[in-house]
Amino acid sequence: MPHPQRYHSSERGSRGSYCEHYRSRKQATKNSSDRTRRRRREDSYHVRRRCSRTFSRSSSQHSSRKAKSVEDDAEGHLIYHVGDWLQERYEIVSTLGKGTFGRVVQCVDHRRGGARVALKIIKNVEKYKEAARLEINVLEKINEKDPGKNLCVQMFDWFDYHGHMCISLELLGLSTFDFLKDNNHLPYPIHQVHHMAFQLCQAVKFLHDNKLTHTDLKPENILFVDSDYELTYNLEKKRHERSVKSTAVRVGDFGSATFDHEHHRTIVSTRHYRAPEVILELGWSQPCDVWSIGCIIFEYYVGFTLFQTHDNRQHLATMERILGPIPSRMIRKTRKQKYFYRGRLDWDENTSAGRYVRENCKPLRQYLTSEAEEDHQLFDLIESMLEYEPAQRLTLGEALQHPFFARLWAEPPNKLWDSSQDISP
What pLDDT, in 10s, does the model give residues 70-80?
789 999 999 99
What's the pLDDT at 146?
Answer: 76
Place 36 in a pLDDT band, splitting at 50, 70 and 90: low
Confidence class for position 2, pLDDT limits 50, 70, 90: very low
Confidence band, pLDDT 50/70/90 cuts, at residue 17: very low
Instruction: Give the separation between CA 313 and CA 347, rounded to whole angstroms.
Output: 8
CA 349 → CA 311, 316, 325, 356, distances in Å? Answer: 15, 13, 15, 9
Active-site entry in 146, 157, 216, 260: 216
pLDDT of residue 150: 80
- Mention every residue, 6+ apart, whose C-beta is less than 8 A from residue 98: 104
**In the chain, what percentage of residues exceed pLDDT 90?**
74
pLDDT at 295 over 90: yes
Average pLDDT, the chain: 85
Q: What is the pLDDT at residue 395?
A: 97
161 CB-near residues (< 8 Å, 6+ apart): 69, 78, 86, 87, 121
Per-residue model confidence (pLDDT) at position 34: 57
Active site residue 311: no
Compute the average pLDDT of residues 125-146. 92
**38 vs 87, which has greater pLDDT?**
87
Q: What is the mean pLDDT of residues 351-374?
A: 96
In tens, the pLDDT along 176-234 reads: 999 999 999 999 999 999 999 999 999 999 999 999 999 999 999 999 999 999 999 98
Q: What is the pLDDT of residue 272?
A: 97
Tens of pLDDT, residues 89-127: 999 999 999 888 999 999 999 999 999 999 999 999 999
Q: How far is CA 368 from CA 190, 300, 357, 377, in A?
A: 11, 12, 19, 11
The number of C-alpha atoms within 13 Å of 198 and in the hemisphere containing its C-beta is 25
Distance CA 217, CA 251 (A): 8
| pLDDT at residue 236, as a whole number | 84
The pLDDT value recorded for residue 145 is 87
Question: In degrees rounded to 5, what are phi and psi of residue 334?
Answer: -70, 150
Q: Which domains does the chain have, with CATH numbers?
A: 72-170 (3.30.200.20), 174-409 (1.10.510.10)
pLDDT value of position 342: 93
Q: What is the mean pLDDT of residues 256-269?
A: 95
Which residue numbers belong to the known binding site for ATP? 120
Q: Which pLDDT band holds residue 149 (cuts at 50, 70, 90)?
A: confident
pLDDT tops 90 at residue 22: no
- pTM here? 0.80
pLDDT one-digit tens code per residue, 395-425: 999 999 999 998 887 665 443 344 334 333 3
Q: What's the CA gap between 352 and 350, in Å, rounded? A: 7
Binding residues: 120
Please tell me the predicted confidence (pLDDT) of residue 55.
35
- Kind of pairing, strands 239-244 and 102-109? unpaired
Residue predicted with more confidence, 328 or 40: 328
